[in-house]
Amino acid sequence: MKNQEEYLDRFIDALNAEENPVLTEIDDAELESLLETTVTVRHLREPEWPDSDFPKVLSARLAHELSTQRTTHTSSLKTPNAIPTDGRGQTTDRRRILEQHDRPNGRDTRRWLRQGLELVAGIVFLAILTGIMVTMLESQKGVPESGQTRLEPAGEVTTPPVTPVVTAPGRPVTLEEAKNQVRAFLEAPDAILTGEASPSYNIIGGQPVRVGTYYIIKRQMDGVRDPDQFTVDGDSGEIIAAHLPSATSDNMPKQPVSEAQANLIVTKFAQTRFYQFAHLTVHDEDHLGGRVGTKGQDRVYQVRWQLRSPESGAWLPTFVWVGVDLETGKVTSYIARRTDYRGPTAPKVNREQAIQIALTEAHKDPDLAGAKAGEVRLEADTVEGKDHVTWFISLDNVPEHALVRHFSVDAITGEIVNPLGSPVG
């Protein structure tokens, strides 16, 4: 071996020839490290698709290795290793090589180290490029093709936070303020509205609400027989009901939407108009077929979101309910209720017991002899100043002419009750 460069060349040639050269004792730490690196690089596996953490991990490892090598090199310059002799005062071949090539050895080693680092840098670059490509590919998975709309399954839509178009003042409002609330709700600041105060509004969405001051606001659209009507809570300024005939297929150009698209429409509408919408859970979805006229008219898709007790799972009396016409893609109805319920939510009568009570009562009617339990849900509400927790149990397998299609069972007493919570009979 004439010099270190020849040694390295022969060492690399041996590796390329699939031989296994043995690393003998070497006093030069840089040379030894470089030989070990050469072996490591030669035995690298075939390229693999790196994971997302590969560039970060490799960069950190490289920084550590460079720091270690720099420290070792500095130390070797300050305190060189002893040069071995042959026992007769004569230097060995290795000593002669090191003496003859002392300065060239440093340059050559640095050249080899630089080449090794260039190789490592190339690997790092490829890894970073791969990471960028992976990121781009992952982001492209959720990007629809041009002209398409990405839709989530109905009932499972997750929408980003949006800025509310209207918020309730949380205080008593005047008639004019109520009109301004409706204009914000419609996103129509120039809407021409009429209105009047109403002493009470007892039923909303099929459920009772408190007696109080309400404003009935109307908007008459050209060419539409019935006006759009809005109910505003006079004590808080919140819009609690909206009925918009002007958005139905009888009065708007038809632009049919799918149920998935309708779900996106009602979700965004509710989210931008009902304060603390994020606290609600999808309660149910109602797919209504043709209701009036010929097939394809007045199909309405509705979704209700409602507050739910985290302890018992009982549905609480705070909800928002939005419907969209599937023929026009326009919102046609909005119902909201906000109640600070503080009563009990845990039942003393469990689900199975409530079902048995309801079916026992149902089977007393010959028309309901074959009735079976359908949907079962636990509900909590305050009616006429009293808190109630009830099991709602719908009936399946009943004839079309049957008048009774569900029962409510008091979850505390086990009695059959009417929608107002009073015992039946």
Q: Please check whether residues 295 and 362 belong to one and the same domain.
A: no
Q: Tell which wins on pLDDT, 388 or 118.
A: 388
The answer to whether residue 165 is domain-embedded is: no
Mean pLDDT across the stretch 107-111?
A: 52
Q: Please check whether residues 21 and 132 belong to one and the same domain.
A: yes
Average per-residue pLDDT for the chain:
75
Domain boundary among 141, 166, 192: 141
Q: Is the pLDDT of residue 359 over 80?
A: yes
Domain boundary among 275, 307, 337: 337
- Residue 33 token pair: 């490290």
Q: Please check whether residues 119 and 182 belong to one and the same domain.
A: no
What's at 22, amino acid-wise? V
Q: Please check whether residues 333 and 355 belong to one and the same domain.
A: no
Q: Is the pLDDT of residue 306 over 50?
A: yes
- Residue 288 token pair: 């209504």
Q: State whether residue 183 is helix, strand or coil.
A: helix
Q: Tell which wins on pLDDT, 77 or 114.
A: 114
Q: Please check whether residues 249 and 273 belong to one and the same domain.
A: yes
The answer to whether residue 196 is domain-embedded is: yes
Q: Please check whether residues 191 and 224 belong to one and the same domain.
A: yes
Mean pLDDT across the stretch 212-240?
A: 93
pLDDT-derived band at 333 (thresholds 50, 70, 90) equals: very high
Q: Tell which wins on pLDDT, 395 or 40.
A: 395
- Residue 103 token pair: 């300065």
The answer to whether residue 250 is domain-embedded is: yes
Mean pLDDT across the stretch 280-293?
A: 60
The answer to whether residue 154 is domain-embedded is: no
Residues 6+ apart with CB under 8 A from 279: 307
Most confident of 22-26, 174-178, 249-253: 174-178
Q: Within a 13 Å sphere around the CA of 286, how many CA atoms are in the beta-carbon half?
A: 14
The pLDDT of residue 330: 94
Strand 331-337 and strand 239-243: pairing?
A: antiparallel
SS3 content of the chain, % helix, strand, coil (to 5): 35, 20, 45
Quote the CA–CA distance of 71 and 49 in Å, as a whole number. 33
Structurally, the chain folds into a number of domains equal to 3
Q: Please check whether residues 106 and 230 belong to one and the same domain.
A: no
The answer to whether residue 147 is domain-embedded is: no
The answer to whether residue 155 is domain-embedded is: no
Q: Is the pLDDT of residue 152 over 50?
A: no
pLDDT-derived band at 251 (thresholds 50, 70, 90) equals: confident
Mean pLDDT across the stretch 399-411?
A: 92
- Residue 118 token pair: 């260039």
Q: Is the pLDDT of residue 120 over 80?
A: no
DSSP-derived letter for residue 366 is G
Single out the residue of 94, 124, 85 nearest to residue 31, CA to CA. Answer: 94
Q: Is the pLDDT of residue 101 over 70?
A: no
The pLDDT of residue 212: 79
Q: Please check whether residues 101 and 216 belong to one and the same domain.
A: no
Q: Please check whether residues 12 and 122 belong to one and the same domain.
A: yes
The answer to whether residue 328 is domain-embedded is: yes
Mean pLDDT across the stretch 302-317?
A: 94
pLDDT-derived band at 385 (thresholds 50, 70, 90) equals: confident
The answer to whether residue 280 is domain-embedded is: yes
Q: Please check whether residues 84 and 123 belong to one and the same domain.
A: yes
Q: Please check whether residues 246 and 359 belong to one and the same domain.
A: no
Q: Please check whether residues 128 and 182 belong to one and the same domain.
A: no
Domain boundary among 141, 163, 195: 141
Domain range enclosing 374? 351-417
Mean pLDDT across the stretch 213-242?
A: 94
Q: Is the pLDDT of residue 341 over 60?
A: yes
